[in-house]
Amino acid sequence: MERFAFGFVAAAFMLLGVAMIIWPDWVISKNRDKDDSRAPTKGEILSTRVLGAVFIAVGAYGLYAILTGIPGAEFFPV
């Protein structure tokens, strides 16, 4: 059962990463205060996309480790 739960968490990390790469301005606007209506800067967009790529890599590795049982799966206990 835990494999499914942690597998869904890893897949959610990957989906969040995809959203951060495709729609960085939406992700940035959701993290700001309601009164802050500034447009995202190029640096914010770049850092959001890089973080999205990291989320995809971590989620993919976690899902692979969970499904195959390779070393490194202890980060996602089964």
Would you give the DSSP letter of residue 71? T
Average pLDDT over residues 9-28: 91
pTM, two decimal places: 0.78
CA distances from 74 to 7, 9, 16, 61, 65 (A): 13, 15, 22, 12, 9
Q: Token match 């009164």: residue?
A: 35
Q: If you compute the radius of gyration of the chain from its CA atoms, what whole number of angstroms results?
A: 15
Average pLDDT over residues 25-51: 85
Sign of CA dihedral 21, 54, 67, 6: negative
Average pLDDT over residues 47-76: 83
